Amino acid sequence: MMYTLHYDSPLGGILLAADEVGLTGLWFDGEKYFADTLDPEHKAQEMPLLREAKRWLDVYFRGQEPDFTPPLHPIGSPFRQEVWALLLQIPYGQTTTYGTLAKHLAAMHGLPRMSAQAVGGAVGHNEISIIIPCHRVVGTNGSLTGYAGGIDKKAKLLTLEKIRMEHLFPPTNYSLTPSTR
């Protein structure tokens, strides 16, 4: 059985989902792939795992690095699981690139190279955003690309973590100013 809880963050509403093993989803309301892995038979009910995820978010949105991680149960292919495990290794307040993740994954498998686009696809389908920090992955050139919650939220999450933003920028033809979208 999956359980859900709504969380009001400073960046908008978030839907949390968990089963008896761990957190299965954390989605901004209306984001791309919203609740893709949510069981249709879920129940809106607060449970210990969801309370722990909510506590993690409270710490995070106060601008602090949480000193714990709630139990996680991401649902995805073995390849996606590997990519998501790499995301969990990106330190708070730091970024990496899709290309760097691809090189690391290729080395893990003894391959000469791996597609950064394939890695980007797995990053983009991360169902437990923020806690599995896909927002810390940027384009090699510094582009703030590929965040299902929206580029504006990605920039705000990076700013919250005090990441220096002067070398990062939105993709071409994208504005972080809502009035110009």
CATH of the domain at 108: 1.10.10.10
Largest CA distance in the chain: 48
| pLDDT above 80 for 174 | no
Task: Say if 72 falls within a structural domain.
Answer: no
Q: In whole numbers, what is the pLDDT of the chain averaged over residues?
A: 91
Residues 52 and 123 in one domain: no
Would residue 174 show up in a list of annotated catalytic residues for this protein? no
Residues 87 and 151 in one domain: yes
The pLDDT-based confidence of 168 (bands split at 50, 70, 90) is: confident
pLDDT at position 177 is 47
Question: Measured between alpha carbons, how far is residue 91 from residues 34, 66, 101, 163, 180 in Å?
Answer: 26, 11, 14, 11, 33
17-38 pLDDT, tens digit per residue, is: 999 999 999 999 988 888 888 8
| pLDDT above 80 for 175 | no
The pLDDT-based confidence of 80 (bands split at 50, 70, 90) is: very high
Count Cα neighbours of 104 within 13 Å in the Cβ-side half-sphere: 15
Task: Say if 176 falls within a structural domain.
Answer: no
115-143 pLDDT, tens digit per residue, is: 999 999 999 999 999 999 999 999 988 88
41-60 pLDDT, tens digit per residue, is: 899 999 999 999 999 999 99
pLDDT at position 148 is 84
| pLDDT above 90 for 100 | yes
Task: Say if 166 falls within a structural domain.
Answer: no
Q: How many domains does the chain have?
A: 2
Task: Say if 22 falls within a structural domain.
Answer: yes
Residue from 16, 26, 83, 134 carrying the catalytic annotation = 134
Question: Domain of 49?
Answer: 3-62
Question: Measured between alpha carbons, how far is residue 132 from residues 79, 86, 102, 169, 173 in Å?
Answer: 15, 9, 17, 22, 28
The beta-strand segments (E) located in 80-121 are 96-97
Residues 83 and 157 in one domain: yes
The alpha carbon torsion through 86, 88, 89, 93 (nearest 10 deg) reads 130
